[in-house]
Amino acid sequence: MVRARRRNNTFCNASSVCGGAVSAVKPVALGLVAAAAVAFLFVMLFALVFVLMKAIVASAILPLSLIALMLGCFVGGFLCGSVAKARGLLYGLAIGGIVFLIVWLIGVATGAAPLSLVMAVKLVCLLLAGGCGGWIGSNRAYTRRRSR
């Protein structure tokens, strides 16, 4: 007697809620840690450049911090999409949104303007960077599976 093989469903297994937030915790947490580490490294690199130049250009601080955050969100979204292997765009958008929320809360705590055009630009840039990273990461994981 031949037993039927069970279908392996990657979206709904016994350890996760079907399509719920439980299966998203590990990739998003890993992506957030990677985003924070990469953003921190780029901020330190830009600070080193300012020290070596022996001059701080005040008008360059805001764009360089945005670039560091965008690179962090991209790498975090990419890692998140690669780990999850599905829903990369959604997870990348989550990474960008959470990073923006952290930056916005720090800005509100330090007394900056809570809503401004600069914050709207940051939101769009971080969402785009995280979403693109997650999309590329999940598609990369898909093409690597298909080629084997």
Q: What is the pLDDT of residue 16?
A: 46
Query: Any idea how long the chain is?
Result: 148
Query: Which of 65-69, 71-75, 111-115, 134-138 bottoms out in mean pLDDT, i.e. has the lowest?
Result: 111-115
d(CA 144, CA 19): 23
Residues in CB range of 119: below 8 A, 6 or more apart: 104, 107, 113
Tokens 């949104």 belong to 97
Q: Tell me the pLDDT of the chain averaged across its residues.
A: 84
pLDDT (tens digit per residue) in 83-98: 988 888 999 999 999 9
User: Percentage of the chain surpassing pLDDT 70?
Assistant: 80
Q: What is the pLDDT of residue 63?
A: 92
Handedness of CA 8, 14, 19, 23 (dihedral sign): negative
Say which residue, 6 or 125, is predicted with more confidence: 125
Say which residue, 7 or 62, is predicted with more confidence: 62
Q: Does the structure show a pLDDT above 50 at 14?
A: no
Q: Does the structure show a pLDDT above 90 at 79?
A: yes
Say which residue, 113 or 139, is predicted with more confidence: 139
d(CA 66, CA 71): 9
d(CA 127, CA 7): 35
- The full DSSP string for 36-76 is HHHHHHHHHHHHHHHHHHT---HHHHHHHHHHHHHHHHHHH
Q: Does the structure show a pLDDT above 90 at 36?
A: yes
Note the pTM of the prediction, 2 decimals: 0.80
**Cα distance from N-terminal residue to C-terminal residue, the chain:** 32
Q: Does the structure show a pLDDT above 50 at 135?
A: yes
What is the mean pLDDT of the segment spanning 137-146? 74
- The full DSSP string for 79-141 is HHHHHHSS-HHHHHHHHHHHHHHHHHHHHHHHT--SS-HHHHHHHHHHHHHHHHHHHHHHHHH
